[in-house]
């Protein structure tokens, strides 16, 4: 595309550094190695959902509570690995049958959505304000991260076939030096095309993620439109597995690095993004803040 959008936008970012320490908690007939919700928490989740005015559902809040660290009357329960044996826990969250252990007991794995910094922040702010009556306080395990990046890319569209790609480099941070990391991304787009267009360009951008972005490779549907004669503009979007549109981006001619292209074309196909994220500055500096 003539002016590259920030590639980060369509990348699914999960919880970085997931705490794998198990907290032992006995409940009913299960042997639990996880942060399972207490009955009082299920009541609190309903209250918080009502307090949100429809912004969050009880299920969304319960799913995030199960990933958070909680202290009740001085006893700490860590979020982390979620596995149970015996009967399926009835704590309001989603559990899936994983198999049977050597003792013949059923093994359950908790299936939760990824960490959401916004919901967890809402829980911390509102649940902790009620701790005087509930005895429970929460600590978020997912922080909001911001990516500051610069990218360059190019696109060639011909009748029936089109291709393109680009590079994006930058910093990903939660606002602290210790949790700041460098990242590099490479994107390759293969499309069926219509029209003719050739262009290159660059842009700078800011995007956001729940937790630190992770090294790895992802593939998604992709669509792009380009037009220009000299200065060029573009629009693009990722197409998610469920058919929804995400990762919308683009470039106007008046960007920091204006796109240069000739012709007009549209294309749709697949986009593959490969990401490398360095160790955080805190890790590189030996844990210094």
pLDDT, position 99: 82
pLDDT, position 15: 23
Of residues 231 and 39, more confidently modeled: 39
Q: What does the block give as tokens for 261? A: 């292209």
Q: Give the containing element (helix H, strand E) for 242.
A: none
Range in 72-76, 80-84, 153-157 with the lowest mean pLDDT: 80-84
pLDDT tens across 249-272, in order?
Answer: 444 444 445 668 888 889 899 999
Report d(CA 267, CA 190) in Å as an integer: 9
pLDDT, position 183: 95
- HSE of 36, CA atoms in CB hemisphere, 13 A: 25
Report d(CA 280, CA 269) in Å as an integer: 34
124-148: average pLDDT: 92
Q: Is the pLDDT of residue 235 over 50?
A: yes
For a pLDDT cut of 90, what percent of the chain falls above it? 36
pLDDT, position 254: 41
Mean per-residue pLDDT over the chain, rounded? 77
Report d(CA 170, CA 190) in Å as an integer: 24
Of residues 46 and 241, more confidently modeled: 46
pLDDT, position 17: 26
Structural domain spans, the chain:
7-11+144-284, 25-139
CA 3 to chain centre: 25
pLDDT, position 239: 52
Q: Is the pLDDT of residue 129 over 90?
A: yes
pLDDT, position 231: 60
- Confidence (pTM): 0.58
pLDDT, position 233: 54
Rounded (to 5) percent helix, strand, coil in the chain:
15, 50, 35
CA nearest 7: which of 179, 201, 204, 199? 204
pLDDT tens across 168-213, in order?
Answer: 999 999 989 999 999 999 999 999 989 999 988 888 888 888 888 8
Q: How many other CB atoms are there within 10 angstroms of residue 76's CB atom?
A: 11
pLDDT band with cut points at 50, 70 and 90 for residue 245: very low
Report d(CA 248, CA 271) in Å as an integer: 13
Torsions phi, psi for 255 (to 5 deg) = -90, 170
What does DSSP say about strands 106-110 and 136-139: parallel, antiparallel, or unpaired?
A: unpaired
Report d(CA 143, CA 116) in Å as an integer: 8
Q: Is the pLDDT of residue 111 over 90?
A: no
Range in 27-36, 41-50, 132-141 with the lowest mean pLDDT: 27-36
CA nearest 81: which of 108, 44, 49? 108
Q: What does the block give as tokens for 8? A: 């980060």
pLDDT band with cut points at 50, 70 and 90 for residue 234: low
Q: Which of 22-31, 45-54, 196-205 has the highest mean pLDDT?
A: 45-54
């Amino acid at each position: 595309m003539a002016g590259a959008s920030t590639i980060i936008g369509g990348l699914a970012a999960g919880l970085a550094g997931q705490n794998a320490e198990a907290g032992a908690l006995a409940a009913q007939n299960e042997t639990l190695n996880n942060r399972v919700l207490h009955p009082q928490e299920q009541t609190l989740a309903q209250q918080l959902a009502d307090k949100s005015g429809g912004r969050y559902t009880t299920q969304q809040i319960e799913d995030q509570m199960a990933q958070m660290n909680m202290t009740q009357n001085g006893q700490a329960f860590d979020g982390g690995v979620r596995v149970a044996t015996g009967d399926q826990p009835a704590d309001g969250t989603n559990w899936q049958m994983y198999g049977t252990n050597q003792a013949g007991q059923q093994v359950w794995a908790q299936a939760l959505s990824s960490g959401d910094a916004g919901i967890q922040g809402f829980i911390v702010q509102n649940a902790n304000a009620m701790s005087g009556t509930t005895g429970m306080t929460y600590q978020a395990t997912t922080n909001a991260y911001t990516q500051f990046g610069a990218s360059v890319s190019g696109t060639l569209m011909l009748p029936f076939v089109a291709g393109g790609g680009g590079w994006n480099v930058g910093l990903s941070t939660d606002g602290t030096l210790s949790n700041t990391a460098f990242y590099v991304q490479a994107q390759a787009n293969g499309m069926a095309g219509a029209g003719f267009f050739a262009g290159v360009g660059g842009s700078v951008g800011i995007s956001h993620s729940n937790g630190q972005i992770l090294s790895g490779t992802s593939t998604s549907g992709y669509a792009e439109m380009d037009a220009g004669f000299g200065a060029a503009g573009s629009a693009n979007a990722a197409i998610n597995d469920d058919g929804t549109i995400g990762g919308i981006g683009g470039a106007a001619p008046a960007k920091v690095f204006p796109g240069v292209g000739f012709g007009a074309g549209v294309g749709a196909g697949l986009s593959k993004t490969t990401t490398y994220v360095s160790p955080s500055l805190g890790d590189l500096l030996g844990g210094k803040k």
